[in-house]
Structure 1
């Protein structure tokens, strides 16, 4: 039976809230300067990702000059939460760590805000469901079998439209199972995605047959650190969530991007708010998550919606009726609600076709969107306003079978390079759908895996014998396809060289009598390599050559009669030196 006429409800509430998804901009290239004016961070703490393969002891050596130490690791993404001494400047430490060859990225542990204001325009019905053609989509899918994680302030499990919709979640903030809503924001977000519907009470949602997994990431003030958000996303991915909604402005944060990649590698889709600054955010496009700006009932971007190159799609976010903490209902506005409208659509798509990959979902969402603004993609609407019916219909008809392997190559070190100690190895990989991870092998032994681009490794070359070593990278996609990079051969030189060169003077012969001039010939050899060879005559430097072969014409016309000393000194690449001397007579 069609469900298309079951979602128009009017509730005479006098209080109208606008929930802001996040205060502050998120510039990927330099998040410190971009976010500082509108956001705070956890003091005495930073987030650092070492290159894959760097061991704990070596990482602590990197931190030691700054007085820092690794507090704990964010599971699954190799991001370390680092504690700094009270007198340390977080920004100064970051600037230093970002220059270190063994560090992939370092950033502040920013705190993001969910803020409330009042006096939004009153909207008397759930217009967004009509605008997105959700009713027609319900003839295809209701969200059955899909779990949606709501990473937010908690969810009111006693609300009549949510009580039967929840599965157990987790409180990342307090590290316990209490996921009650402590601020009110999460209950509103959850209601947009999966409030009970077609039940003659309350509001309708997008995917009411889906299950809601509350993951509390904030304190009672509604604020959440990006490390807690990342931990919550990984927890959700590990506990069966196929879709995750984050109604905070998280675009541009490397730690959250790594967690979203972890979710993506498990077949999950992460949807996030663009933010409510009303300004341009220059964060770059990121394929680990779907970023959503907000539109009004006229398909126009709202004045308060953040926009920029990171926006993927847009969705209704003004005057959205939903559930509120304490059992009520209200109309709310913000990209906090355009995001769950999109997450609800994604849920319906995956329920209609569970075989879809995250890349399939994103592509279908974009290609079926209603193009607004400038033709094609633009920074206000992304690829357009989400059309739930078109997206779900396309998902149901889609046949996806990936048989193409990724392409991978090692960019550095170069072939035949001489290396020692900890070696930085950089690889690039691409795939028609998406790379899940890249493995680096040295002489056939796994060094480390990296699941997020850029693929950066630290290899301890002391674990192989000196001489030639073989480096190969393997790239994998979600379908199990994989390929190997071209082999890179490097020359490992770690052993301490204490052997000096040998020096032979072949001309003139020791004790020779010279009248006017003589050709001096010498040869130096070494177990590794001779760096330079120098000629001294009577203790004075006559010439120096690179390498071990020396030839010098000595004119003795103005040299006094008597005995003279010819010495040749060779130095190898480790600094070991040897000298050979002879005497000649004029």
Structure 2
């Protein structure tokens, strides 16, 4: 992974492929010579590699333990490859590996108190929870490990850009985000993060280009997967346009399967972004001290929550403190409230934590969810109280059914298996059974499989799928009988 990422980043940074439709306020570009793809569960690497080769790809590498692949392609063929593979029924998605900027505005000389702590009632929540036992992954430009208000809360992290353990802050943004979420509390120093007893896991995803900080979707997905595998329960990405990436959504689902939640910034372009709403992550817009939308905050139907984002006093690289503006800081405030909830009641599932945040938020603007504030401005005291009063464990099983192939149909070679799976708290895994034996598992929505029918005898074979929720409840679909008819030349 290190060699492919390092090589492609060098190409992309020096020879940028610009999206000419982007506005001047939001420069966007993508990596030359690579795209991001995710094969459906059930395909062997041999078959995946053959499909890549048949479509003009060179080589591919998985991102950690996820099923997301970075596919190396000829420079200039990126869009064509995406168009080919995104319509292939054996792939969940294919997309350009875009680079997006941080979601922060210029530093503000604001030196007042941390008004946002009282606004979200974090000080009241601290009577019951301060985030102890929860690790928050800060996927950003790194974190200043020498800062006295952060050092005691830091745990080992990862540099997804260089594939090493150097998580030093390359542009200062990550240190500000980390302090907003979890600067140490009650230490007689500087500031207190919203979850001051939570641990901070620094994940560097960013690089500096022309004096600005950018991150690729590939490093976001890689870093998020690493964080999930190393115990993070909450993750934050304060970069623009994150909800548009299928790769990051897949990695966010992987985090959910391990009990975690991802929070992301809505953006700072003062416009309706038009992003499609997603339940894989929690996009957060910014509010001001009067609970109005911050003038810079982006908005749209994708916004799920809002949080203070104007004049946020936080840690700065080099050991100092400063005031900052942006949805870059709204997002970690909401993420830190999630950490308070998880600390107050560790057995809650990610969906339960999310529901608590939504249901206890202070409704602003139009009644109910709206494009400016989502479900409302985050309410730490209300969320922690709801966590402590949460009902007993989930006992409701998911529902699952096979949509295609239809029963008695004749199939051969690779067979795309489409299904419908739902649960009141969320499905976390679906298994595919062929003739009573589990042959593949899928842990990220949309759930589905690619089954190589060459592995069974010709004739009638049975297919079934089993869906599981986080509590271990399970449901098995009706068995579907298909007629396998493979010739000697079938692959």
Given candidates 401, 410, 416, the residue that maps to 1:424 is 416
Cα deviation, residue 399, structure 1: 2.7
Partner residue in 1 for 2:5: none
Would you say the 8 A contact 1:370–1:386 is kept in 2?
yes
Residues 116 and 140 of structure 1, relative CA distance in 2, 3 Å threshold: closer
Would you say the 8 A contact 1:66–1:84 is kept in 2?
no
Would you say the 8 A contact 2:110–2:313 is kept in 1?
no
1:391-410 pair list within 5 angstroms:
391-410=383-402
Partner residue in 1 for 2:221: 230
Would you say the 8 A contact 1:356–1:400 is kept in 2?
no
Partner residue in 2 for 1:9: none
Secondary structure at the aligned position of 2:50 is classed as helix
1:468-507 pair list within 5 angstroms:
468-496=460-488
1:9-28 pair list within 5 angstroms:
none
Cα deviation, residue 342, structure 1: 0.5
Given candidates 177, 198, 206, the residue that maps to 1:189 is 177
Unaligned stretches of 5+ residues in structure 1: 1-31, 498-586
Measured in 1, the distance between the counterparts of 2:464 and 2:407 equals 11
In terms of fraction of residues, the more helix-rich structure is 2
Cα deviation, residue 304, structure 1: 1.6
Measured in 2, the distance between the counterparts of 1:394 and 1:35 equals 42
Cα deviation, residue 293, structure 1: 0.6
Q: Does 1:75 align with 2:64?
A: yes
Deviations 1:548-569 (A, max 9, x none): xxxxxxxxxxxxxxxxxxxxxx
Cα deviation, residue 345, structure 1: 0.7
Partner residue in 2 for 1:299: 291
Cα deviation, residue 117, structure 1: 4.8
Would you say the 8 A contact 1:407–1:483 is kept in 2?
yes
Cα deviation, residue 265, structure 1: 0.8
Q: Which has the higher contact order (CA 8 A, sep 6+)?
A: 2
Residues 400 and 192 of structure 1, relative CA distance in 2, 3 Å threshold: farther
Measured in 1, the distance between the counterparts of 2:428 and 2:331 equals 25
Given candidates 233, 245, 249, the residue that maps to 1:253 is 245
Q: Does 1:96 align with 2:84?
A: yes
Single out whichever of 127-136 and 449-458 deviates more from structure 2: 449-458
In our comparison, the structure showing a higher alpha carbon Rg is 1
Q: Does 1:157 align with 2:148?
A: no
Partner residue in 2 for 1:361: 353
Measured in 2, the distance between the counterparts of 1:34 and 1:459 equals 39
Single out whichever of 161-170 and 375-384 deviates more from structure 2: 161-170
Partner residue in 2 for 1:284: 276
Partner residue in 2 for 1:336: 328
Measured in 2, the distance between the counterparts of 1:441 and 1:320 equals 52
Measured in 2, the distance between the counterparts of 1:379 and 1:34 equals 24
Residues 117 and 312 of structure 1, relative CA distance in 2, 3 Å threshold: closer
Cα deviation, residue 75, structure 1: 2.9
Measured in 1, the distance between the counterparts of 2:155 and 2:38 equals 32
In terms of fraction of residues, the more strand-rich structure is 1
Cα deviation, residue 226, structure 1: 0.8
Cα deviation, residue 238, structure 1: 1.1
Instruction: Give the TM-score taking structure 1 as reference length.
Output: 0.77
Measured in 2, the distance between the counterparts of 1:176 and 1:492 equals 47
Measured in 2, the distance between the counterparts of 1:206 and 1:283 equals 28
Secondary structure at the aligned position of 2:417 is classed as strand
Measured in 1, the distance between the counterparts of 2:22 and 2:133 equals 38
Given candidates 265, 283, 301, the residue that maps to 1:273 is 265
Would you say the 8 A contact 1:132–1:389 is kept in 2?
yes
Cα deviation, residue 120, structure 1: 4.2
Measured in 2, the distance between the counterparts of 1:413 and 1:123 equals 63
Cα deviation, residue 303, structure 1: 2.2
Deviations 1:233-262 (A, max 9, x none): 111111111111111131121111111111
Residues 231 and 118 of structure 1, relative CA distance in 2, 3 Å threshold: closer
Residues 319 and 283 of structure 1, relative CA distance in 2, 3 Å threshold: same
Secondary structure at the aligned position of 1:344 is classed as helix
Q: Does 1:308 align with 2:300?
A: yes
Secondary structure at the aligned position of 2:244 is classed as coil
Residues 364 and 215 of structure 1, relative CA distance in 2, 3 Å threshold: same
Cα deviation, residue 124, structure 1: 1.6
Cα deviation, residue 137, structure 1: 0.7
Partner residue in 2 for 1:325: 317
Secondary structure at the aligned position of 2:243 is classed as coil
Cα deviation, residue 378, structure 1: 0.5
Given candidates 203, 208, 211, the residue that maps to 2:199 is 211
Q: Does 1:64 align with 2:56?
A: no
Partner residue in 2 for 1:108: 96
Partner residue in 2 for 1:52: 41
Would you say the 8 A contact 2:90–2:416 is kept in 1?
yes
Secondary structure at the aligned position of 2:152 is classed as coil
Cα deviation, residue 142, structure 1: 1.2
Single out whichever of 427-436 and 194-203 deviates more from structure 2: 194-203
Cα deviation, residue 336, structure 1: 0.4
Partner residue in 2 for 1:39: 28
Partner residue in 1 for 2:235: 244
Secondary structure at the aligned position of 1:224 is classed as strand
Residues 174 and 314 of structure 1, relative CA distance in 2, 3 Å threshold: same
Given candidates 246, 254, 267, the residue that maps to 1:262 is 254
Let me know the Cα RMSD of the aligned residues. Answer: 1.8
Residues 226 and 128 of structure 1, relative CA distance in 2, 3 Å threshold: same
Given candidates 367, 377, 382, the residue that maps to 1:375 is 367
